[in-house]
Structure 1
Amino acid sequence: MNNRTNEGVQPGPDGAETSSAAADPDRVQNPRYARFIADLLGVIAYGELSGFERLSSDARFSPTLADRAGIGRLAVQEFAHFELVSSHLAARGIDVEQAMAPFVASVDAFHERTRPADWFESLMKAYVIDAMSGDFYRALADRLDTETRGLIGRIDADDDTALLGRLLKEALADDPRLASRLALWGRRLVGEALTQAQRIGIEREFLGGLLFADTADPAAHTTALFAQLTRNHSRRMSALGLTA
């Protein structure tokens, strides 16, 4: 993860910044909030572990040794993020395997539905998913306790998308015919990713049921969050010269 910008962190639909969980010490001790953090870190941990596996596998298709080394470094970085989250969970007395377990089937199904056909689609998938994940976690950060927000910041400090974006731009410059295929692939990826995020959010009460429960209109905040994720994706695709 990911693209270091502030575009994923936005005010709520009423124009006011969302309140920080860190400003409410009682919330950190709240059982519902504790479960939310376990779920959030569980899905992040499995996402990072899956990212490590995906990038490790995709690296072998790199057209040059330099690209293979670059993708390999990203894979190592993903595993380092997994270990960071594991340590954070352990400090809270939570087993990482148990925290990840509720999300394994859905995340694996997502990756099965979005299996890349070649190197270029692999690059696009890594780029889209890493960037959107970063946007999502940053959008939640203001509502997290200080320690968890700091963890998200440490993960977000590693800019994975710069290399991926550069490789995509080079590929598109070398073969402009890729543009229409990758644009279509990008649209499919973002649609699948948003559907998956909404499903998990509903099943585990990530969003309106818990995270935005103390706002005047939880549903509006949830809708605004996903609209912002879509706009951010569109801007990134435009920067690549693609139609979102």
Structure 2
Amino acid sequence: MGTSTPGGIPADVLPAELLGAMAYGELSAFGRLSADSRFAPTLRDRATFAKIAVGAFGNYALISGRLTEMGRDPEDAMLRFQPSFDHFHERTPPGDWYESVLKAYIIDTVSSDFYRTVSAFLDAGTQQFVRKVASADQATEALRILLMRALRDDPRLASRLALWGRRLVGEALTQVQRVALEHPDLRAVLHDGQAKAEVRRLTAELADHHGRRMTGLGLAA
């Protein structure tokens, strides 16, 4: 018999589905960042976004390769997550370059927190892989620097971006709750009856991490 998670789910199911979500997130980020780079105020900023987009595609390739090694079709693994990701982006179109930068930063950091937290339910190899792909990296720092420079050059942006950030994280955490509670395998790992409490705890933790990052930027979360 194959091994299973504490929720009785076959051990390879949740890793494949988590990686499917991550893969589509990175593929989506590549397209979004590539498109948004056109609105950068300087060629340097455009190059920064393009470099981050290339990094997102590199992450997608790594995750896709991992899924293939697991005997999973990457497209099949991604498809179930496409509607929710696309719906989120349809609901949160940025109004200008600065909102694009903050959106990229919030998605990058909140999703990384979420993936690392969920990976704690999984095998050690998957945890290590997720930490590698979802760790704070040069892209996160580059986005933070872009935001800090924009806020330094025009302090009036702070109030508008703070409001935008609150809307974004509210939408993002709502999406996290929906995926966690509507996903039967994850709900089982969260011990079904305790799932709502666990998801509340998870979203509170994500919100706390986000709030500290926004405070660090001078944007009240």
Tell me the TM-score normalised to structure 2 length.
0.91
Q: Is the CA contact 2:177–2:199 (under 8 Å) kept in the aligned structure 1?
A: no
For residues 27-176 of structure 1, the aligned pairs below 5 Å read: 27=4, 31-157=9-135, 158-176=137-155
Most deviating of 79-88 and 143-152: 143-152
C-alpha displacement of 1:152: 0.7
What is the alpha-carbon root mean square deviation over aligned residues?
2.0
Match of 2:196 in 1: 219
> Secondary structure of the residue that 2:122 maps to in structure 1?
coil
Distance 1:33 1:194, change over 3 A: farther
Partners of 2:43 and 2:79 lie apart in 1 by 36
- Percent sequence identity is 49
Partners of 2:13 and 2:29 lie apart in 1 by 24
For residues 17-28 of structure 1, the aligned pairs below 5 Å read: 26-27=3-4
Deviations 1:189-234 (A, max 9, x none): 0010011111111221354x223229x9443332211101001111
Q: Is the CA contact 1:200–1:206 (under 8 Å) kept in the aligned structure 2?
A: no
For residues 174-185 of structure 1, the aligned pairs below 5 Å read: 174-185=153-164
Q: Which runs of 4+ in 1 moved over 6 A?
A: none
Q: Which residue identity lines up with residue 145 of structure 2 in the other structure? A: R
Partners of 2:126 and 2:90 lie apart in 1 by 30
* Higher-helix-fraction structure: 2
Distance 1:189 1:218, change over 3 A: same
Query: Which of 190, 209, 216 is residue 232 of structure 1 equivalent to?
Result: 209
Q: Which structure 1 residue ranges, 5 or more long, are not aligned? A: 1-24
> Secondary structure of the residue that 2:219 maps to in structure 1?
coil
Match of 1:8 in 2: none
Q: Which structure 2 residue ranges, 5 or more long, are not aligned? A: none
Most deviating of 136-145 and 168-177: 136-145
> Secondary structure of the residue that 1:116 maps to in structure 2?
coil
Tell me the TM-score normalised to structure 1 length.
0.83
